[in-house]
């Protein structure tokens, strides 16, 4: 797996480090580019180890990176689920929605390249940090735990999106035999992911962390997600449902739900309460385009440079929530109107819904320190997902239980909905799935749910069906090849050991 050296300067498995200087959330955001250091003269002190591990956090920024047309990975992953329109100018986004894209779509390469960059750096940390002396053993264990977490995190994205992928567990250079690797069976990749997360669990992390760093709660939630995924397609290791339920149950007591949905996307509540793990941003250091990508196209409801409309919910999806659901009321998860930026007495009606879930009030206001500089965090894991993992896994293992109902009903109570009760295992399963779609809407969960269940949510009928035999609300029937992304064409062209996924 070798990238074009002229374009990328390094191979996929060589080090590209963008690191920072301290352990706090703010400090790991401070940029300190050391991409040209020599690894043999590095890893000599605890400060260097800390700095290097901080770089593993910064790599996550690629999820929100993209061009002016809204071709960001977090949007691409959502488009595959079929409940999103894109009102902007991106040809590639339109091709994904209508399932006519190909292996040269730049989004496929962006995710592949950056996930393997994360793997490469995690491999270096795991290889070299144990040899640093003197170093506080508690700090060493914690940093190793974070490195194991990130190697698992990046491989978890790779194996779900591309299937069988090269499994590289040692640092590489231009003479390494694995520079042009072949693909490893997904089952073996998952075994390594589970092993890495178990190693992270044993590293002495605190249960929760309000600074933006990996916590035991994040590790256990990710591991439970892995167990839930491996219990479904393609592996169907159904014994892992019980493992998922047991893994996630303690986490439910470590966090609590916000009493306002606005706290999910404001600056004051970053990394707090129900937010288990986020990608952290800070104005003046690192910002993103989440808000301007998710507001209506060319309607001036904020002071960002562009209003791109790249990820817009379908009206049918918003209408599929139960009557009285608080999440669908104006300025909860969605909004259909807002005041003009230059005249707050003027209301702009969108003509459709947009995602208030990602509207960043702080940077939308003129004449402030962060006007037009969106630094809202992107949430990767939060308590409702943990609750729904527990409910689903527990139901699959044991049928409906009081604890499983309680996990789902806590989410429904916040949404002002009646509690669920008296359901069969099958009807409770679909109720949980429906709650996942509605509560975790547009958080990059739906496509992965389709992969592992081989079922799609149909908002038009509020039911679930085989996606390859059912049209979305946009009239598109899912193609089986889209259960996986294609390997980037550049990788196929430069590595004869790689074979393309079926249908691509």
pLDDT score, position 92: 85
**Do residue 45 and residue 159 come from a single domain?**
yes
Output the pLDDT for position 17: 38
pLDDT above 70 for 89: no
Give the residue from 93, 21, 87 showing the smallest Cα distance to 57.
21
Q: Is the pLDDT of residue 2 over 50?
A: no
Contact between 303 and 368 (Cβ < 8 Å): no
In a domain, 30, yes or no: yes
Of the pLDDT bands very low, low, confident and very high (cuts 50, 70, 90), residue 306 is confident
Mean pLDDT for the stretch of residues 263-277: 98
Q: What is the pLDDT of residue 305?
A: 84
One DSSP character per residue, 416-479 reads: T-PPP-S--HHHHHHHHHHHHHHHSTTSS-HHHHHHHH--EEETTTTEEE-GGGSB-TTS-BPP
Burial class of residue 99 (count of CB atoms within 10 Å of its CB; 0-12, 13-18, 19+): middle
Work out the average pLDDT over 66-74. 80
pLDDT at 35 over 90: no
pLDDT at 20 over 70: no
Residue 387 pLDDT greater than 60, yes or no: yes
User: What integer pLDDT is reported at residue 136 of this predicted model?
Assistant: 95
pLDDT of residue 70: 77
Residue 350, token pair as written in the block: 């969108």
Predicted pLDDT of residue 409:
98
- What is the residue-averaged pLDDT of the chain? 91
In a domain, 172, yes or no: yes
Q: What is the pLDDT of residue 23?
A: 38
- Dihedral, CA atoms, 216, 219, 224, 229, nearest 10 degrees? 170
The 10s digit of each residue's pLDDT in 439-480 is: 999 999 999 999 999 999 999 999 999 999 999 998 999 999
Residue 151 within any structural domain of the chain: yes
Residue 32 covered by a domain: yes
Residues 81 and 181 in one domain: yes
Q: Quote the number of domains for the chain.
A: 2
User: Of 374, 404, 419, which closes a domain?
Assistant: 374
pLDDT digits (tens, 9 = 90+) for 109-161: 999 999 999 999 999 999 999 999 999 999 999 999 999 999 999 999 999 99
Task: Over range 174-191, report the average pLDDT.
Answer: 89
Q: Which of 317, 341, 374 is the last residue of a domain?
A: 374
Verify that 176 and 308 share a domain, yes or no. no
Mutual angle of helices 402-414 and 425-439, in 10-degree steps: 30
* CATH number of the CATH domain containing 111: 1.25.40.390
Same domain, 200 and 293: no
Average pLDDT over residues 317-325: 97
In terms of domains, do 164 and 294 share one?
A: no
pLDDT above 70 as % of the chain: 91
Residues 190 and 295 in one domain: no
Residue 94 to residue 112: CA distance in whole angstroms: 21
Rounded to whole angstroms, what are the CA distances from 127 to 40, 172, 189, 195? 12, 11, 19, 16
467 falls within a domain: no
* Confidence grade of residue 68 (pLDDT, cut at 50, 70, 90): low
Looking at the structure, tell me whether residues 10 and 145 fall in a common domain: yes
Q: How far apart are CA 106 and CA 86, in angstroms?
A: 17
Residue (of 182, 179, 7, 40) closest to 110 by Cα position: 7
* 149 and 46 in a common domain: yes
CA distance 84 to 312: 5
Look at 106-110, 239-243, 375-379, 427-431 and tell me which has the smallest mean pLDDT.
106-110
Instruction: For 52-61, write each residue's pLDDT tens digit.
Output: 999 999 999 9
Residues 198 and 301 in one domain: no
27 lies in the same domain as 156: yes
Q: Which of the two residues, 3 and 266, has the higher pLDDT score?
A: 266
Q: How many angstroms separate the CA atoms of 451 and 85, rounded? A: 20
* Structural domain range at position 73: 5-204
pLDDT in tens, 285-299: 999 999 999 998 888
How far, CA to CA in Å, does 419 sit from each of 261, 467, 473? 19, 29, 28
User: Does residue 405 form part of some domain?
Assistant: no
pLDDT band at 28 (very low <50, low <70, confident <90, very high): low
Q: What is the pTM of this model?
A: 0.92
Among 151, 182, 204, give the residue marking a domain's end. 204
In this structure, the answer to whether residues 10 and 113 fall within a common structural domain is yes
Residue 471 lies in a domain: no
Residue 85: pLDDT over 80: yes
Per-residue model confidence (pLDDT) at position 88: 64
Instruction: Identify the pLDDT of residue 246.
Output: 98
**Given a cut of 90, is residue 48 above it in pLDDT?**
yes
Q: Does residue 294 lie within any of the structural domains?
A: yes
Average pLDDT over residues 266-285: 97
Same domain, yes or no, for 39 and 142?
Answer: yes
């Amino acid at each position: 797996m070798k990238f074009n050296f002229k374009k990328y300067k390094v191979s996929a498995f060589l080090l590209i480090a963008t690191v920072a200087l301290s352990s706090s959330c703010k400090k790991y955001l401070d940029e300190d580019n050391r991409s040209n250091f020599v690894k043999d003269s590095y890893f000599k002190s605890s400060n260097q180890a800390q700095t290097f591990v901080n770089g593993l956090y910064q790599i996550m920024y690629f999820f929100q990176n993209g061009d002016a047309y809204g071709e960001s990975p977090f949007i691409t992953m959502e488009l595959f689920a079929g409940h999103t329109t894109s009102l902007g100018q991106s040809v590639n986004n339109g091709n994904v929605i209508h399932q006519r894209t190909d292996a040269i779509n730049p989004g496929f390469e962006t995710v592949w390249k950056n996930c393997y960059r994360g793997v490469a750096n995690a491999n270096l940390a795991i290889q070299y940090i144990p040899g640093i002396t003197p170093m506080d053993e508690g700090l060493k264990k914690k940093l190793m735990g974070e490195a194991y977490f990130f190697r698992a995190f990046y491989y978890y994205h790779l194996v779900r999106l591309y299937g069988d992928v090269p499994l590289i567990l040692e640092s590489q250079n231009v003479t390494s035999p694995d520079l042009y690797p072949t693909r490893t069976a997904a089952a073996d990749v998952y075994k390594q992911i589970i092993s890495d997360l178990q190693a992270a669990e044993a590293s002495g992390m605190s249960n929760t962390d309000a600074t933006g760093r990996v916590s035991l709660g994040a590790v256990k939630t990710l591991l439970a997600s892995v167990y839930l995924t491996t219990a479904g397609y393609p592996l169907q290791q159904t014994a892992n449902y019980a493992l998922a339920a047991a893994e996630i149950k303690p986490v439910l007591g470590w966090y609590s739900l916000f009493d306002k949905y606005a706290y999910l996307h404001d600056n004051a509540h970053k990394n707090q309460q129900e937010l288990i793990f986020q990608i952290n941003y800070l104005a003046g250091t690192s910002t993103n385009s989440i808000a301007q990508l998710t507001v209506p196209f060319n309607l001036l409801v904020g002071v960002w440079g562009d209003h791109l409309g790249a990820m817009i919910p379908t009206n049918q999806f918003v209408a599929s929530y139960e009557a009285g659901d608080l999440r669908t009321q104006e300025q909860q998860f969605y909004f259909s109107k807002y005041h003009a930026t230059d005249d707050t007495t003027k209301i702009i009606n969108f003509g459709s819904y947009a995602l208030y879930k990602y509207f960043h009030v702080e940077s939308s206001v003129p004449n402030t320190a962060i006007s037009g500089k969106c630094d809202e965090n992107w949430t990767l894991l939060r308590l409702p997902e943990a609750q729904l993992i527990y409910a689903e896994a527990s139901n699959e293992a044991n049928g409906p239980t009081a604890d499983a109902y309680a996990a789902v009903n806590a989410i429904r109570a916040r949404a002002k909905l009646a509690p669920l009760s008296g359901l069969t295992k099958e009807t409770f399963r679909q109720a949980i799935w429906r709650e996942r779609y509605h509560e975790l809407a547009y958080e990059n969960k739906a496509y992965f749910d389709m992969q592992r269940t081989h079922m799609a949510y149909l908002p038009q009928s509020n039911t679930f069906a085989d996606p390859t035999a059912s049209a979305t609300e946009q009239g598109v029937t899912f193609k089986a090849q889209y259960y996986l992304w294609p390997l980037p064409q550049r990788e196929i062209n430069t590595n004869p050991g790689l074979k393309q996924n079926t249908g691509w």
